[in-house]
Amino acid sequence: MDKVIGFIGLGIMGKPMAKNLLKAGYNLVVHDVNRAVVKELVEAGAEEGFSSKDIAQKSDIIITMLPNSPHVKDVILGKDGVLEGARPGTIIIDMSSIAPLVSKEVALKAKEKGVVMIDAPVSGGEPKAVQGTLAIMAGGPEDVFDQVKDILLKMGSSAILVGDIGSGNVAKLANQVIVALNIAAMSEAMVLAAKAGVDPEKVYNAIRGGLAGSTVLDAKVPMVLNGNFKPGFRIELHIKDLMNALDTAHEVGVPMPLSSQVMEFMQALKVEGEAGNDHGGLIRFYERLAGVEVRKNHGG
């Protein structure tokens, strides 16, 4: 554990992930535009890095956990970025959910400087980030993945190498498509129950043990029933992932009729100022269409 890990991006997901690495005994240098969260991590035992370049100069392995493709390109390739400070042999683990083509582009530029990169996006939202039980899907050279797998498993309960660089993000896009369509299906079903005058909580308990049961159902229905749309994963981030999924699908020749529909439902909520809500808040689109709310003890 003598290797120093740099961690850039301490948001909803990054902060608990970094804390789990500290708890595991790793030496951590952290950086984020939000100084308050940097201070919190320093108080927990991390060292402060003053720029992406500074992080790279102090680290053997650099983890980035950022909102989208432009942020990753800026942090790694930009002025005072990771590649300006990284030594040959440094490993970058980009755990952001970005476009697979951008992962490939950034990895190619890193390789020119003798720096190797893997993409390793995650699934599980804030609760699993806190618990250290994320599902991690990686793309990149197998020997590099083997070097960092133990680190990944301090943040997740599983870490699977899917294929070459960019493959992790393809797997993540597949994940996000399934999650979005699950939330939409849950929303239609629960709104149907409420409008038909049947207690949606009882419907949920009746169906969750059968074929309709899912991780999404168990994670989101209790939140909806309590009217809790505090984000574990924001609608605006799911819009970003679906945009990347649709772009990637169109590049390779895959029609995505259901995903494009759900994307538009989320866009409608964004227009209404709800982009910062949890993606389980997609149900509010259906509730407004039907003129009913799915809440505890609500019979319609």
Determine, yes or no, domain membership for 296.
no
Asked whether the predicted pLDDT for residue 208 surpasses 70, the reply is yes
Per-residue model confidence as pLDDT tens digits over 54-101: 999 999 999 999 999 999 999 999 999 999 999 999 999 999 999 999
pTM score, whole prediction = 0.91
Based on the domain organization, do 195 and 160 belong to the same domain?
no
Out of 100, 129, 164, a domain closes at: 164
pLDDT of 113 higher than 60: yes
**Whole domain around residue 155: which residue ranges?**
4-164
Mean pLDDT of 219-226: 97
Same domain, 76 and 224: no
- Which sequence positions are flagged as catalytic? 172
DSSP assigned state of 199: -
The verdict on residue 297 lying in a domain is no
Q: What percent of the chain has pLDDT over 70?
A: 99
Is the same domain home to 268 and 136?
Answer: no
CATH classification at residue 132 = 3.40.50.720
Please, is 143 exposed, middle or buried when counting C-beta atoms within 10 Å of its C-beta (0-12, 13-18, 19+)?
exposed
Name residue, tokens 């951008």: 102
Q: Are 132 and 156 in contact (CB under 8 A)?
A: yes
Same domain, 45 and 72: yes
Say how far apart CA 30 and CA 42 lie, in whole Å.
Answer: 8
Residues 222 and 273 in one domain: yes
**Are 144 and 189 part of one and the same domain?**
no
Residues 45 and 182 in one domain: no
Among 133, 164, 195, the domain boundary falls at: 164
- Residue 59: partners with Cβ closer than 8 Å, 6 or more residues away: 4, 5, 6, 29, 49, 90
**Torsion angles phi and psi, residue 161, rounded to 5:** -80, 115
User: What does residue 259 show for φ and ψ, rounded to 5 degrees?
Assistant: -60, -40
Residues 121 and 237 grouped into a single domain: no
3-state DSSP assignment of residue 48: strand
Within-domain flag for 217: yes
Whole-angstrom Cα distance, residue 286 to residue 293? 9
Q: Which of 164, 188, 203 is a domain's end point?
A: 164
pLDDT in tens, 150-191: 999 999 999 999 999 999 999 999 999 999 999 999 999 999
In this structure, the number of other CB atoms found within 10 A of the CB of residue 280 comes to 25
101 plus 228 within the same structural domain: no
Residues 78 and 214 in one domain: no
Q: Is residue 299 a part of any domain in this protein? A: no
Judgement on whether residues 143 and 213 belong to the same structural domain of the protein:
no
pLDDT in tens, 231-260: 888 999 999 999 999 999 999 999 999 999
Cα gap 207→239, rounded to integer Å: 28
Task: Please report where in the chains the tokens 């699950």 appear, as a residue.
Answer: 182
Q: State residue 299's pLDDT score.
A: 43
- Show Cβ contacts of residue 199 under 8 Å, excluding neighbours closer than 6 positions: 193, 297, 298, 299
